[in-house]
Structure 1
Amino acid sequence: MLDELDERIVRELTSDARRSYADIGQRVGLSAPAVKRRVDRLRASGAIQGFTVRVDPAVRGRRTEGLIELYCRRQTTPEMIRKGLEGYAEVVSASTVTGEADAVVQVFAADMEHFERVLERIAGEPFVERTKSVLVLSPLLRRAG
């Protein structure tokens, strides 16, 4: 469990992972070495799993976002779904879910035609019985972590 200071440090790193320990310390009321010790501890415990860069998909020519619900054949495991989807560069996330669908897949494509091709390829995977998809019109809120 994260204490209040850890939460504040994580929020600062989530908003900008390149922020210095001194800057974070100033924002949360700790010295830079104290922030570093906490970050090191959070990394060692697995609470912080790494640092990354968030790139706007549009700069890579991916302006069309869609969500695909997967309805899978019997005996399909989450690992089978993961392995089946990991080769799609357009897939940015996939999760098993509650409800009627077995999984939801987030896809970024260049345009509608590209999205349709990806959808058809995913629908053709051996573990997929059927799909249902929606296109994102305007993302309203996105948070990292």
Structure 2
Amino acid sequence: MDTIDEAIIRCVVRDARATYAEIGKEAGLSPSAAKRRLDRLVKSGAIRGFTAIVDPQSLAWHTEAYVEIYCTGNPTPAELLKALEDIPEVVDACTVSGAADAMLHMLAADIPHLELAIQRVRATGPVDRTESVIVLSRLLSRPRIQV
């Protein structure tokens, strides 16, 4: 990975719909060279996909919770990802140290919606039980650092 690849990644992280001309301009390449480099980054797995980031507030999802999940057996992170990735209310998930196997950040429209989403999490193969805390007020929220 060189500075050109990093410029391409910065561009598509900021705007996954950027044109090859826009990517090339940012990376100092022609559009066709930008396409070749981007295709190489995708083929190598450095870029795993492109996505739309939906603002949960636009969906009116104002109920927020952190959910610890405890699993049966010893699932791999990839197995946990596969079990959770189709639950849209899970907006962030990570494996953690300590008693829990993973921690989820979930958003929902209201408490009944959150409860149904947590039930879907519990119904996934590796999950044995969950423990949840509901956010009452957000004190600080910093944007994530992008490449």
TM over 0.5: yes
- What's the TM-score once normalised by structure 1's chain length? 0.74
Q: What is residue 25 of structure 1 aligned with on the other side? A: 24
CA contact (8 A) 1:64 1:109 kept: yes
Q: 1:139: how far off?
A: 3.1
Q: What is residue 77 of structure 1 aligned with on the other side? A: 75
Question: CA 1:53/1:89 → structure 2, altered by over 3 Å: closer, same or farther?
Answer: closer
> Residue 65 of structure 2 aligns to a residue in which SS?
strand
Trace 1:110-125 onto structure 2 (pairs within 5 A). Answer: 110-116=109-115, 118-119=117-118, 122=121
Q: 1:9: how far off?
A: 0.6
Question: CA 1:115/1:14 → structure 2, altered by over 3 Å: closer, same or farther?
Answer: same
Q: Distance in 2 between matches of 1:83 and 1:44?
A: 21
CA contact (8 A) 2:67 2:130 kept: no
Letter in 2 for 1:10: I
What is the percentage of aligned positions where both structures have the same residue? 40
Question: CA 1:12/1:118 → structure 2, altered by over 3 Å: closer, same or farther?
Answer: same
> Residue 53 of structure 1 aligns to a residue in which SS?
coil
Decide which moves more: 91-100 or 80-89: 80-89
Q: Give the RMSD, CA atoms, in angstroms.
A: 3.1
Q: What is residue 34 of structure 2 aligned with on the other side? A: 35
Q: Distance in 1 between matches of 2:33 and 2:79?
A: 43
- What's the TM-score once normalised by structure 2's chain length? 0.74
Pair 1:140-2:138 in alignment: no
Equivalenced residue count is 143
CA contact (8 A) 1:123 1:131 kept: no
Q: List runs of 5+ in structure 1 lacking aligned partners.
A: none
Letter in 2 for 1:15: R
Q: 1:66: how far off?
A: 2.1
Q: 1:143: how far off?
A: 5.4
Q: 1:21: how far off?
A: 1.6
Q: 1:144: how far off?
A: 6.7
